[in-house]
A and B are shown apart, each in its own frame.
Chain A
């Protein structure tokens, strides 16, 4: 079965640079979530989209923005990167916003040097 696709899988950036992470949800899934997992930490919710509209916002810095496109893929844009942004960034998708399982992608490991 098709899974959530994230690209790139690994990304190395320098401080103050920008980065764009992409997420392709499972076909027919219309809801996308972004999570950040720091080293040794549990995943923290950043932002979510339903039917291309932002539907919820968590602990996402103002330096980050995201959107969901007409084909339901989503992009997380990160600017003015800081060392503390180094983390695993997961995208998850689900069908609808009801009580459905969230399926996670493999993650993008971002390293800021």
Chain B
């Protein structure tokens, strides 16, 4: 990936447990977004956090952003089997050009065992 790396690359947990995924990036950003992708299917937008925000919640999702460490984390609480998917972080910044193209991390494959 040009910009970000995610860890772990794969995560397997039991239903009801919490799942934490981390994303690191290299250059300064305007925003960081998290997406979910079920196998070979479309990208579903989960949450956007701006560079001046430190934490954001949406339902069972909690995202943190530490711009000093150039990292973000996605926490899914009380996981469900339906949360099984790949999770990508994507950043936009002053990469040149007039639109906010996204640069994606390498993704974390989450498997939630029933």
* Residues on the A chain within 8 Å of B101, using CB: 33, 45, 48, 56, 58
Please, how many angstroms separate the alpha-carbon atoms of A98 and B48 in the complex?
A: 13
Q: Check if A67 is an interface residue, CB within 8 A of chain B.
A: no
The number of chain B residues with a CB under 8 A from chain A is: 28
Q: How far is the CA of A3 from the CA of B81 in the complex (A)?
A: 25
A45 contacts across to B, CB distance below 8 A: 101-103
Q: How far is the CA of A97 from the CA of B43 in the complex (A)?
A: 20
- Write the A97-108 contact mask toward B (1 if CB under 8 angstroms, else 0): 111111111110
A29 to B78, CA, bound (A): 34
Whole-angstrom distance from the CB of B34 to the nearest CB of chain A?
Answer: 11
Q: How far, in angstroms, from A57 to B41 measured CA to CA in the complex?
A: 24
In angstroms, Cα B1 to Cα A94, docked, is 23
The interface of chain B, by Cβ under 8 A from chain A, is 1, 30-31, 33, 35, 40-45, 48, 50, 88, 90, 92, 96-107
B-contacting residues of A (Cβ < 8 Å)? 31, 33, 35, 42-45, 48-50, 55-58, 88, 90, 92, 94, 97-107, 109
